């Protein structure tokens, strides 16, 4: 008990090993829950998978039925002195077991279907990455300068922010049909939806970050004669850089969440196409494989960016913690 | 330095001009298709390169069904595969089109599925039925009720998205749902004992699936569309021939990402129409044996249910000239 308390208390300055252990644990715990639900027959398993239909005419081998219905049918058959249906406890088709998903993931990456022009899972994912890249880049090219300006100059902020506050509540996917009409059916409208979804939050968040820059810094610079553009490039931007970097990391995650709606617009492409197509025919092992790839990719990118952040801004201690 | 900039500029401008003029000269016909067996059938021609053999440049774009109609309305594609009823709906909102050929009619793939214990439409009296209002299953239900001698008011409609029907039926809150395949099959698997009580096989021709193209493209590219029609004839014969059917089903199953064995039943619920069969249906008659008769029913249904306000002129939509021109 004492050791656990010590462990948890050590959070403020965790040794690398402990940190790694916690990190692995945070993944192991959900995995453990998932495995328990999947493999331990008396945990959940609300359905029965029929192994032998017995005398019930509408049952088939492999069919999933509710347990209560299964019991009714067993009682019914016993009463009629007919063969009793048999089955094993099972989960709904919507929750595949970890090994099924792992297998689907492996097959999706290493054994994609051949002899067809239908995109494979890696190809779909690559398409999605490109859409995200352009969407986030365009959003940043507009959003970052706008945010910095809004945060630095009060009057500029007052001119832009009320409208942006308003616009950020409008649901980005609702602009889908308009985006198709203007930008065509390929990646244009998808990128546009990601931009619409990300840009407005981006301006506000970055403006806020800029405002948090210590006023003493700006005042000192002004006293020393720094003006206008130079104030921006020499004081404000270097001052907020580490926080700006972290904001961008969070916003990139934001862009990913818009990907799923963006890719439903225009032609069906990317990882969303893969996921929805597989879901339509109930291949939920493939669906979860697709979802997990997005997770791995997003998390992986963020890890790399976090590490890069520590290299780029060694003086900023907060980069260590995020 | 200055010179390099100039050269680069010239190259860029030249490339832009070239690509523009190239696209104006030889833009392929763009056709939107989606996940319905009668349309996935085109994949056979695409994979086998039959369009190239026929000397016509077409590009098929894979969409979600409603997204394909949006893209068509926005003028981004030349043709789209949809139901005759949806062609009218799309047209009423400005996306006018000409139905130039039929791909199939639904022959059991659209269905009203009732929960266990209910075996006929008559037993639905006074109960709740979930359909996506204004879409084909709604029409199918009304058609069935009429045949069973019932009034639309004999059931209470619950509006729900077609994709969510398996969960709606499973909830036990409704007595029946309307859905097409593969959603209907999913619903029946999710609730064993539930069964279809009325399907499009009971009223063949209620729902026709058509290739609808923009009036401008139909007028300007007659020769190309004619070639597309001929390729379709080849596709139907390839799929229906028992010798080549396994290969065709393999191609189609790969397009939607299932095994051929899973796909075969879905194909069976769709009655593909070659050009000879299509020609007969293009004849102007009343009743479900004719595209006119079927579209008239859809038009009345759409107006009655407020999908759009004024009746559409069917002669604007149905263009049998190309079908006639095929020898």
Please state the ipTM of this predicted complex.
0.73
Calculate mean pLDDT across residues B68-78: 92
CB contact A267 to B (< 8 Å): yes
CB contact under 8 A, A180 and B74: yes
CA–CA dist A7, A24 (Å, integer): 15
Interface probe for A, chosen from B28, B70, B187 (most Cβ of A below 10 Å), is: B70
Identify the residue with better confidence: B244 or A17: B244
Identify the weakest region by mean pLDDT among A8-22, A148-162, A217-231.
A8-22
Q: Residue A111 has what pLDDT?
A: 84
B311 to chain A, closest Cα gap in Å: 25
pLDDT at B134: 80
The pLDDT value recorded for residue B284 is 87
Residues of A in contact with B258 (CB under 8 A): 281, 283
Chain A, 73 to 102: residues with Cβ < 8 Å from chain B are 93
Q: Which of A177, A181, A282 has the CB atom closest to B186's CB atom?
A: A282
Q: Which residue of B has its CA nearest to A276?
A: B64
Q: A58 in contact with B at a CB cutoff of 8 Å?
A: yes
Q: Do B257 and A185 touch (CB under 8 A)?
A: no
Question: Across the A/B interface, how many CB contacts are shorter than 8 Å?
Answer: 81
- Cβ-Cβ contacts under 8 Å, A261 against chain B: none
Chain B contact for A116, CB < 8 A?
yes
Tell me the CB-side half-sphere exposure of residue A71, using CA atoms within 13 A.
Answer: 5
Q: Taking residues B14-27, what's their average pLDDT?
A: 50
Rounded to a whole number of angstroms, the distance from the CA of B85 to the nearest CA of chain A is 21
Q: How confident is the model at residue B271 (pLDDT cuts 50, 70, 90)?
A: very high
Report the predicted TM-score, pTM, of the whole model to 2 decimal places.
0.80
Chain B residues near residue A283 by CB distance under 8 angstroms:
257-258
For residue A139, which of A206, A61, A57, A66 has the smallest C-alpha distance?
A: A206
pLDDT attached to residue B93: 86
Buried b (16+ CB within 10 A) or exposed e, B247-257: bbbbbbbbbbb
CA distance A210 to A147: 8
To which residue do tokens 């959900």 refer?
A: A30
Nearest CB neighbour to B70, from listed A180, A273, A278? A180
Query: Is residue A241 within 8 Å of residue A188, measured between CB atoms?
Result: no
Report which of B72, B91, B89, B85 is spatially closest to residue B34, judged by C-alpha positions. Answer: B72
B62-100 in b/e form (b: 16+ CB < 10 A) is bbbbebbbbbbbbebbbbbbbbbbbbbbbbbeebbbbbb
A140-168 pLDDT, tens digit each? 999 999 999 999 999 999 999 999 999 99
pLDDT of res. A222: 86
pLDDT at B236 over 90: yes
What is the rounded distance in angstroms from the CA atom of residue A181 to the CA atom of residue A52? 55
pLDDT at B18 over 50: no
Among the partner residues B73, B189, B254, nearest to A63 by beta-carbon distance: B189
Q: Which residue blocks in B136-269 are alpha helix, DSSP H?
A: 136-147, 165-170, 183-190, 215-220, 222-240, 245-256, 260-268
In which band, very low, low, confident or very high, does the pLDDT at B292 lie, cut at 50, 70 and 90? very high
Confidence of residue B17 (pLDDT cuts 50, 70, 90): very low
Q: Which residue of A has its CA nearest to B183?
A: A280
pLDDT score of B267 more than 70: yes
* Vertex A281: Cα angle to B270 and B72 (nearest 5): 65
Interface test with B, best of A268, A269, A270 (most B CBs within 10 A): A268
Q: Residue B205 pLDDT more than 70?
A: yes
More confident site: B4 or A202: A202
Residue A322 has pLDDT above 70, yes or no: no
Structure tokens at A151: 């945060």
Q: What is the pLDDT averaged over residues B123-137?
A: 91
CA angle at B104 for the pair B220 and B177, rounded to the nearest 5°: 125
- From B31's Cα to the closest Cα of chain A, the distance in A is 11
User: A13 pLDDT exceeds 90?
Assistant: no
- The nearest alpha carbon in chain B to A73 belongs to B193
CA B261 to chain centre: 23
B79-105 pLDDT, tens per residue? 999 999 999 999 998 899 999 999 999
% residues pLDDT > 90 (chain B): 70
Q: How far is CA B169 from CA A96, A277, B195, in A?
A: 22, 22, 11
What pLDDT sits at residue B66? Answer: 84
Please provide the average confidence, as pLDDT, over all residues in chain B: 89
Q: For residue A58, give the chain B residue with the closest CA.
A: B193
**B35, A264: Cβ pair inside 8 Å?**
no
Phi, psi of A206 (to 5 degrees): -70, -35
Beta-bridge mates of residue B99 = B212, B318
* Least confident window among A130-134, B8-12, B132-136: B8-12
Q: Do B257 and A181 touch (CB under 8 A)?
A: no
Structure tokens given for A314: 């060694």
- Closest Cβ–Cβ partner in B64, B75, B116 for A268: B64
Q: Where are the alpha helices (DSSP H) in A212-283?
A: 215-223, 228-230, 237-262, 270-280
Res. B213: pLDDT tops 90: yes
pLDDT band at B291 (very low <50, low <70, confident <90, very high): very high
The verdict on a CB contact (< 8 Å) between B257 and A276 is no
Which chain A residues are closer than 8 Å to B65 by Cβ?
Answer: none
Residue identified by tokens 């509006």 is B159
Confidence at residue B108, expressed as pLDDT on a 0 to 100 scale? 92
Our CA-based measurement puts residue A280 at a distance from the nearest CA of chain B, in whole angstroms, of: 7
Q: What DSSP designation does A232 have? A: I
Torsion angles phi and psi, residue B198, rounded to 5: -155, 130
Q: For testing the chain B interface, which of A280, A283, A285 should be mutated: the one with the most B CBs within 10 Å?
A: A280
Distance between CA atoms of B212 and B318, rounded to whole angstroms? 9
Taking each helix axis from N to C end, the angle separating B245-256 and B222-240, rounded to the nearest 10 degrees, works out to: 110
**Tokens at residue A181, please?**
């009409």
Q: Chain B partners of A281 at a C-beta cutoff of 8 Å? A: 182, 256-258, 262
pLDDT at position B16 is 47
Nearest by CB: B62 against A115, A267, A281: A267
Contact A63 B77 (CB under 8 A): no
Which residue, A265, A257, A240, is CA-closest to A316?
A240
The predicted structure's pLDDT at residue A64: 81
Question: Which pLDDT belongs to residue A99?
Answer: 94
Q: What is the mean pLDDT of residues B119-140?
A: 91
Per-residue DSSP letter, A192: H
Does the beta-carbon distance from A185 to B62 stay under 8 Å?
Answer: no
Residues A159-194 have pLDDT tens digits of: 999 999 999 999 988 898 899 989 999 999 999 999
Closest CB from B76, B116, B251 relative to A184 = B76
Angle between helices B136-147 and B291-304 (to 10 degrees): 100
**3-state SS, residue B111:** strand
């Amino acid at each position: 008990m004492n050791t656990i308390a010590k462990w948890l208390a050590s959070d403020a300055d965790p040794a690398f090993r402990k940190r790694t252990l916690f990190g692995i644990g945070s993944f192991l715990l959900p995995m453990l829950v998932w495995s328990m639900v999947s493999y331990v027959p008396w945990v959940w398993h609300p359905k029965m998978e029929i192994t032998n239909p017995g005398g019930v005419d509408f049952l088939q081998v492999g069919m999933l039925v509710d347990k209560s219905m299964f019991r009714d049918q067993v009682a019914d058959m016993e009463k009629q002195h007919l063969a009793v249906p048999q089955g094993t406890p099972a989960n709904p088709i919507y929750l595949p077991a970890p090994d099924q998903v792992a297998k689907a993931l492996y097959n999706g990456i290493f054994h994609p279907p051949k002899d067809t022009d239908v995109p494979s899972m890696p190809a779909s994912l690559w398409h999605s990455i490109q859409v995200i890249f352009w969407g986030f880049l365009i959003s940043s090219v507009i959003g970052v300068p706008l945010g910095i300006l809004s945060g630095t100059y009060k009057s500029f902020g007052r001119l832009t922010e009320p409208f942006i506050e308003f616009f950020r509540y409008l649901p980005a996917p609702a602009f889908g049909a308009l985006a198709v009409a203007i930008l065509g059916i390929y990646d244009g409208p998808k990128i546009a939806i990601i931009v619409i979804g990300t840009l407005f939050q981006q301006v506000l968040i970055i403006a806020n970050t800029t405002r948090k820059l210590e006023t003493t810094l700006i005042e000192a610079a002004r006293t020393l004669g720094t003006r206008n553009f130079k104030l921006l490039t020499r004081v404000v931007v270097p001052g907020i850089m580490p926080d700006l970097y972290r904001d961008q990391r969070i916003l990139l995650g934001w862009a990913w969440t818009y990907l799923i709606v963006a890719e439903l617009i225009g032609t069906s492409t990317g990882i969303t196409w893969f996921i929805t197509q597989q879901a339509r025919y109930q291949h939920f092992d493939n669906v979860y494989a697709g979802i997990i790839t997005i997770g791995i990719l997003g998390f992986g990118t963020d890890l790399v960016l976090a590490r890069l952040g520590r290299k780029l801004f060694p003086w900023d201690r907060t980069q260590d913690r995020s | 330095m200055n010179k390099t900039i100039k050269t680069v500029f010239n190259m860029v401008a030249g490339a832009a001009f070239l690509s523009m003029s190239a696209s104006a000269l030889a833009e392929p016909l763009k056709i939107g298709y989606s996940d319905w067996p009668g349309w996935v059938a085109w994949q056979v021609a695409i994979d086998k390169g039959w369009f190239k053999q026929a000397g016509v440049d077409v590009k098929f774009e894979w969409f979600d069904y409603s997204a394909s109609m949006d893209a068509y309305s926005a003028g981004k594609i030349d043709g789209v595969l949809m139901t005759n009823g949806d062609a009218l709906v799309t047209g009423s909102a400005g996306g006018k089109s000409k139905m130039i050929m039929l791909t199939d009619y639904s022959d059991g793939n659209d269905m009203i599925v009732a929960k266990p214990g209910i075996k006929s439409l008559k037993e639905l009296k006074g109960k709740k039925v979930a359909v996506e209002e204004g879409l084909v299953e709604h029409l199918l239900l009304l058609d069935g009720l009429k045949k069973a001698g019932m009034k639309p008011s004999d059931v209470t409609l619950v509006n729900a998205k077609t994709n969510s029907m398996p969960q709606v039926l499973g909830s036990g809150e409704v007595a029946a749902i309307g859905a097409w395949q593969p959603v209907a099959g999913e619903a029946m698997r999710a609730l064993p004992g539930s069964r279809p009580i009325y399907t499009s096989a009971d009223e063949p021709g209620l729902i026709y699936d058509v290739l609808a193209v923009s009036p401008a493209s139909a007028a300007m590219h007659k020769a190309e569309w004619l070639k597309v029609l001929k390729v379709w004839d080849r596709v139907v014969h390839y799929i229906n021939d028992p010798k080549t059917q396994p290969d065709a089903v393999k191609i189609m199953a790969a397009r939607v990402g299932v095994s051929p064995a899973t796909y075969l039943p879905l194909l069976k619920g769709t009655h593909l129409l070659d050009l000879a069969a299509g020609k007969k249906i293009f004849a102007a008659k009343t009743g479900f044996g004719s595209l006119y008769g079927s579209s008239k029913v859809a038009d009345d249904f759409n107006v009655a249910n407020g999908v759009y306000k004024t009746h559409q002129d069917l002669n604007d939509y149905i263009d049998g000239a190309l079908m006639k021109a095929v020898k």
